[in-house]
Structure 1
Amino acid sequence: MNSSYTLTELTAVKYQRMDICSAIRRRTVWRPPYALTTALELLSVEMPRIASNHQRMMNSTVVTVPHPNAKRHVQGITAVVWPFSIDTVTVDNQFICTSPTCTWAMLSPYLELEELIVLADSMMRRDRRLRRTTIDALSLYLDNAYRQVQEAQDDGKARRLFRGYNNCRRALLLARSGTDSSMETRTRFVPPRYGLDMPQVNYPIYIGRSTKPLYLDLAYPEFKICIEHEGSHHARQWLGDVKRRQDIEDDGWKYLQATKLDIGYEDREEALARRIADKMQEVTGKTIQLTPRKTIRQLCDARTTKRAPLYERLRFAPLLPISHA
């Protein structure tokens, strides 16, 4: 299972890709914008998990053109057609690639719904140096694509939305800004898969008299339960991790740690959900049953997203304020 990438690692990947692009530019004057996985590398965005049948793009430099007639055959380049708005940005004043919002939409046909959400989160990191877009910007791009199709159809032209459009709309229901890692995102999906509420990301707390917030990876402030992902704070020393946990627990929080071994296997994810439910039972004194495992698509269903929060269903008074993402 892949770990999340640091800024340093993403920057190294970016410069490796720039070297490849520079070599290609010396062989051809063709300058279409770089796209898909090539754009992600140039933008220093963490790569989502791409299905094996689409791995070819990982081994090629990908560009995009608005129609098939604009394609050229250049060794080392794969050209894909994107008949929607090709929004671009320039990286390091040299390389033109599709914008983060355009890149996200273009990748939707190649990604499972969960990975599409993971990618959206990766583009909206808490670290400003890695923040590339917003929920509003992603939504606006979809709105414009929809309007483009509607206008074409009104003119009697046969136009369809891109494959992946509906998943993009679903993804925005679960995407969250301010995350720190892809593993944090994948961990966030575990509780709701088994009927628990979606935890909040990077919930700020203040320890003692400190005016500097300490951000919890995932939290249920209503129950004062937090889930910290091992490895998300690897910049700290081991003793710092121990002190962090001690500070959190001294502040009255129930602390759970998740690792990459807890994610990606149904039995282990269910066990993690059970540990979370057990902590909720400790706090509320009420039995909390898990439900059969849901798919990510089921989590996007209105019956799930509009369901009353667990504390209300338990008639439990929240211990701390709840922000509504």
Structure 2
Amino acid sequence: MGGADTLSELTELKYQRMKACAEIQQRSGWRPPYALMTALELQAIELPRLSSKCRRLKNTAVVAVSHASQRYRIYGVTPVVWSFPLDEVMVERQFPCTSPACTWAMFAAYLDLEELIVLADSMMRRNGRLCRTTLDELAAYVHAAESQVRTMQGEGKRARLFPGYENCKRALLLARSGTDSSMESRTRLVMLKYGLDCPQVNYPIVAGRNRKPVYLDLAYPEFKVCIEYDGSHHAGQWLNDTRRRQAIEDEGWQYVQVTKLDLGDDESEEALARRVARRIEEVVGQHVELTARKTILQVCDGRGLRRKPMHEKLHFTPLLHAGNGDGAVFGAASDELDAVA
């Protein structure tokens, strides 16, 4: 469950980065767009888990230039070359940044596939104050880069797609808009690694005396099984979460609570997937078989994404509408991946 804590932390990080960038701009009139980690911080986007080759970019101001000849030596600034469209946005009318879609594509060279999916989710939060892009905009940028390369090749020029392009195409299949936190995204991906359907994100229900809908972090509405990620909270938040859980269970939902201890290693994640499978078994009265652990790359296999939803394989009549297809069937989108894999 995301909330004000995430917003305040990202806002604080944003203003720290703005202060550092303002100091740099006082020393230099050079104004290329800020990129990578710096762009995320300035746009208040939750940071992904960094690989070792990306950590060096965290403690410096990163900017993007379209050609190596445009790089300058300025203390505290690290220029990176990006020969694809440098779409820009302006933060606080003072700090040019690569757009969220451009920033996401640039990160494909530094992040593994799972973190690339998590970063895409982070850019499309349910909270309107933290939503920076859409799935269509991410896909459009990748398509624009592909079109640029094809045009150059058609003109007889040497050109190739950016590092991580294939992973961007794959990530678009599993990224979801309307999420609240990166840990919820990682929890969702755990289900897929063990052969369960992709749960719905922030599924709305009416619970207790609430007039406004309660949004379940992750849900299998066809089985009325929900998965809620609980971070570290103060006592008041713990009491609210306890009441929330009671209201959800009173509506007949099977509740699975997740903490950071359930994520991060194979053994813990498999145990979590088994807990979810057992809740589904309690509803359908049948055994739910998990698969051997898959990598996210294997999850993205086109054939796997086109499999039947679990309730159909179990010949179970859904208890509630499963939504807009965030589950097992991805349709034509997975066909595009066949040409990439």
TM-score (norm 1): 0.96
Match of 2:309 in 1: 309
**1:252 maps to what in 2?**
252
Deviations 1:69-127 (A, max 9, x none): 11111111110000010000110011101011111111110001000000000000000
Aligned match of 2:148: 148
1:290: how far off? 1.2
Q: Which region of structure 1 is more displaced relative to structure 2, 123-132 or 274-283? A: 274-283
- Structure 2 regions of 5+ residues with no counterpart? 327-341
| CA contact 1:180–1:232 (8 Å) conserved in 2 | no
Once the two structures are superposed, the pairs formed by residues 173-212 of structure 1 within 5 Å of their partners are 173-208=173-208, 210-212=210-212
1:57 partner SS: coil
Cα distance per residue 1:11-47 (max 9 Å; x no partner) = 1111111111111112111111111110000000011
Paired residue type of 1:216 = L
Q: How far apart are the structure 2 equivalents of 1:315 and 1:149? A: 47
- The worse-fitting range, judged by mean Cα deviation, of 199-208 and 234-243 is 234-243
For residues 47-77 of structure 1, give each alpha carbon's deviation from its aligned partner in whole angstroms, at most 9, with x where no partner exists: 1011112211011110010001111111111
Match of 2:329 in 1: none
Looking at structure 2, the residues matched to 5 and 167 of structure 1 have their Cα atoms a distance apart, in angstroms, of 31
Alpha-carbon separation, structure 2, partners of 1:273 and 1:97: 39
Go from structure 1 to structure 2 and tell me whether the alpha carbon gap of 1:205 and 1:184 turns closer, same or farther (over 3 Å shift): same
In structure 2, give the amino acid aligned to 1:309. P
Is 1:321 the equivalent of 2:321?
Answer: yes
Aligned residue for 1:274? Answer: 274
**What percentage of residue pairs aligned between the two structures are identical?**
60
Q: What secondary structure sits across from 2:273 in the alignment?
A: helix
What letter corresponds to residue 180 of structure 1 in structure 2? D
Deviation at 1:231, TM superposition (A): 2.1
Which residue number in structure 1 is paired with residue 222 of structure 2? 222
Offset at residue 237 of structure 1 (A): 2.5
SS state at 1:189 partner: helix
The Cα offsets for residues 119-177 of structure 1, whole Å up to 9 and x where unpaired, read as: 00000000000000000000000111111000000000000000111100100000000
Name the counterpart of 1:22: 22
- 1:235 Cα shift? 9.8
The residue aligned with 1:159 is 159
Matched AA of 1:310? M
Paired with 1:16 and 1:244, the residues of 2 have a C-alpha distance of 35
Inter-partner Cα distance in structure 2 for 1:263 and 1:298: 19
Shift of 1:8: 0.7
Q: Following TM superposition, by how much is the alpha carbon of 1:239 offset from its aligned partner in structure 2, in angstroms?
A: 2.1
Residue type of the partner of 1:19? K
Which AA in structure 2 matches 1:49?
R
Note closer, same or farther for the CA distance 1:108–1:216 as it changes in structure 2 (3 Å cut): same
Matches within 5 A, 1:226-245: 226-231=226-231, 237-245=237-245
Amino acid at match of 2:231: G
Aligned counterparts of 1:48 and 1:226: Cα–Cα separation in 2: 25
When residues 110 and 197 of structure 1 are mapped into structure 2, their CA distance, relative to the original with a 3 A threshold, is: same
Cα distance in structure 2, aligned partners of 1:298 and 1:62:
33
After TM superposition, the structure 1 = structure 2 runs for residues 124-139 of structure 1, keeping only pairs within 5 Å, are 124-139=124-139
CA shift for structure 1 position 210 = 4.3
CA deviations 1:156-200 (Å, max 9, x no partner) are 000000011110010000000000000000000111111111111
Instruction: State the number of aligned residues.
Output: 322
What SS is found at the alignment partner of 1:130? coil
Displacement over 6 Å in runs of 4+ = 232-235
- Residue 5 to residue 144, structure 1, CA distance change in 2 (3 Å): farther
Q: Is the 8 A contact 2:208 2:250 kept in 1?
A: no
Measured in 2, the distance between the counterparts of 1:316 and 1:12 equals 48
Structure 1 position 211, deviation (Å): 3.7
Q: Which runs of 5+ in 1 are unaligned?
A: none
Q: Could you report, residue by residue, the CA deviation over 1:177-232 in whole angstroms, capped at 9, with x for unpaired residues?
A: 00000000000011111111111110000125644110000100000000111128
